[in-house]
Amino acid sequence: MSAEVINGRDLAQEIRLELKDEVSKMIQEEGVTPHLTVVLVGDNPASKSYVKGKEKAAKEVGISSSLVELPETTSEEELLNLIHKLNEDKTVNGILVQLPLPNHIREQKVIEMINPNKDVDGFHPVNIGRMMLGEDTFLPCTPYGIITMLKSRNISIEGKHAVVIGRSNIVGKPVGQLLLNENATVTYCHSRTANLKEFTTKADILIVAIGKPNVVTAEDIKDGAVVIDVGINRLETGKLTGDVDFDSAADKASFITPVPKGVGPMTIAMLLKNTIKAAKGLEKGE
Ligand SMILES: NC(=O)C1=CN([C@@H]2O[C@H](COP(=O)(O)OP(=O)(O)OC[C@H]3O[C@@H](n4cnc5c(N)ncnc54)[C@H](OP(=O)(O)O)[C@@H]3O)[C@@H](O)[C@H]2O)C=CC1
Ligand SMILES: Nc1nc(=O)c2c([nH]1)NC[C@@H]1CN(c3ccc(C(=O)N[C@@H](CCC(=O)O)C(=O)O)cc3)C=[N+]21
């Protein structure tokens, strides 16, 4: 293996320590404790485990959090009513509705109901628009975490060819936008891309957000490329793995992120950062 591994678990831990200081200052100086409310509909085991991770991390930095658990049979109207109440509740700084939602609920309707100033996921169209314009806003947590990982290793983005595989609203599209904002030249690939390898082998920075194990192997990677694996796949053995064949890819890449202990923990650290930002915005009356 020649690549340097960017350990997201360790970096997220460092960030949480900094955030802990920031939160204690807020509490001491302004008497404000940031509060995050997480809404979980149904009992998808993966969602439950992510939500637990978010609550644990919030507690660690001194952010208070509450979890609203609703049954799978909750109607769209009931969920929208709850969000309305959370929007009005002055003690709630950040609202996160865990995705995916049950099929009978329109995700986009729910996201658009959240007050953009409490949208710590950065999924509301207003915040996505602000991100596209390069304005200060809540950045989507996974893309924000990826940029933070690159910067932590002084990996230059400007002028580099970044190739993103995946075009979802929560990962692929926004990570390409943030890389563009950092002056990369960006190419998006997806399931209809003809000859994926032709693009991936030209990438200086390759972001893989597909959701299928081992789609990307050494032969898809340019020598010395930076490879960021966003995928989280649970194998039948119970083991977690990314979308990239780590062992072969690590022989060719200059930097690579592992799964687990890669992008996942950074996503949660950025959520905490956004929650603190939301609480600060409120003080300023924004
Ligand atoms: N680490 C973290 O913090 C997070 C990890 N994830 C993980 O990242 C992965 C992606 O998540 P998400 O973006 O929500 O997933 P989606 O399923 O919404 O999107 C997957 C994307 O990959 C594309 N795709 C699928 N198969 C192929 C293929 N064979 N070749 C090229 N492109 C392909 C799809 O193309 P098309 O659009 O044409 O269908 C789509 O754009 C998942 O494993 C998810 O669990 C997600 C969020 C956070
Ligand atoms: N509204 C909303 N916001 C999200 O941010 C959101 C979501 N919905 N739905 C699901 C995806 C997925 N996601 C992850 C977060 C952390 C890890 C994570 O910390 N993973 C650990 C492993 C955890 C384990 O062992 O299970 C790691 O990669 O090391 C993974 C995935 C956030 N998501």
pLDDT digits (tens, 9 = 90+) for 206-261: 999 999 999 999 999 999 999 999 999 999 999 999 999 999 999 999 999 999 99
Instruction: Give the separation between CA 8 and CA 267, rounded to whole angstroms.
Output: 9
Instruction: Give the separation between CA 249 and CA 243, rounded to whole angstroms.
Output: 11
Tell me which long-range contacts 236-244 makes (C-beta under 8 A, separation of at least 24): 241/213, 241/214, 242/208, 242/213, 243/165, 243/208, 243/209, 243/210, 243/211, 243/212, 243/213, 243/214, 243/215, 243/216, 244/208, 244/214, 244/215, 244/216, 244/217
Annotated binding site for NADP(+): 166-168, 232
Give distance in angstroms: CA of 284 to centre of ligand 2.
31
121 in contact with ligand 2, CB cutoff 6 A: yes
Q: Which ligand number lies closest to the CA of residue 12? A: 2
Q: Tokens 């969602």 map to which residue?
A: 47
- The set of protein residues with a Cβ atom below 6 angstroms from ligand 1 is 142, 165-168, 170-172, 189-193, 196, 209-212, 215, 230-233, 263-264, 267
Contact (Cβ atoms closer than 8 angstroms) between residue 254 and residue 4? yes
Catalytically annotated residue among 13, 56, 59, 98: 98
All CATH 3.40.50.10860 domain ranges in the chain, comma separated: 30-115
Residue 108 a catalytic site member: no
Helix-, strand-, coil-residue percentages of the chain, each rounded to 5: 45, 15, 40
pLDDT, residue 75, reads 98
145 in contact with ligand 2, CB cutoff 6 A: no
Instruction: Give the separation between CA 116 and CA 134, rounded to whole angstroms.
Output: 16
Q: DSSP assignment of 217-237, as one string?
A: -GGGS-TT-EEEE---EE-TT
pLDDT, residue 286, reads 59
Q: Which ligand number lies closest to the CA of residue 188? A: 1
Instruction: Give the separation between CA 63 and CA 61, rounded to whole angstroms.
Output: 6
Which atom of ligand 2 is least distant from the CA of 9?
Answer: 29
Contact (Cβ atoms closer than 8 angstroms) between residue 211 and residue 177? no
Fold observed for domain 141-263: Rossmann fold (3.40.50)
Homologous superfamily (CATH) of 30-115 is Leucine Dehydrogenase, chain A, domain 1 (3.40.50.10860)
Give distance in angstroms: CA of 173 to centre of ligand 1.
11
Catalytically annotated residue among 20, 28, 118, 121: 121
Residue 247 a catalytic site member: no
Instruction: Give the separation between CA 172 and CA 175, rounded to whole angstroms.
Output: 5
The two tokens of residue 284 are 């300023």
pLDDT, residue 283, reads 54
Instruction: Give the separation between CA 276 and CA 279, rounded to whole angstroms.
Output: 5
Contact (Cβ atoms closer than 8 angstroms) between residue 100 and residue 44? yes
Best mutation site among 168, 196, 234, 245 for ligand 1, i.e. most ligand atoms within 8 A of its Cβ? 168
Q: Are strands 240-241 and 233-234 parallel, antiparallel or unpaired?
A: antiparallel
Contact (Cβ atoms closer than 8 angstroms) between residue 248 and residue 265? no
Q: DSSP assignment of 176-214, as one string?
A: HHHHHHTT-EEEEE-TT-S-HHHHHTT-SEEEE--SSTT
pTM of the model: 0.98
Residue 20 a catalytic site member: no
Contact (Cβ atoms closer than 8 angstroms) between residue 70 and residue 59? no
All CATH 3.40.50.720 domain ranges in the chain, comma separated: 141-263
Burial of 2 (0-12, 13-18, 19+ CB in 10 A): exposed
Instruction: Give the separation between CA 217 and CA 131, rounded to whole angstroms.
Output: 32
pLDDT, residue 285, reads 55
In the sheet with 94-97, reading across from the earlier edge strand, the strands are 64-70, 35-41, 94-97
Each residue's pLDDT expressed in tens, for the chain with a length of 286 residues: 799 999 999 999 999 999 999 999 999 999 999 999 999 999 999 999 999 999 999 999 999 999 999 999 999 999 999 999 999 999 999 999 999 999 999 999 999 999 999 999 999 999 999 999 999 999 999 999 999 999 999 999 999 999 999 999 999 999 999 999 999 999 999 999 999 999 999 999 999 999 999 999 999 999 999 999 999 999 999 999 999 999 999 999 999 999 999 999 999 999 999 999 999 985 565 5
If DSSP codes are grouped into helix, strand and coil, which group holds residue 80? helix
If DSSP codes are grouped into helix, strand and coil, which group holds residue 73? coil
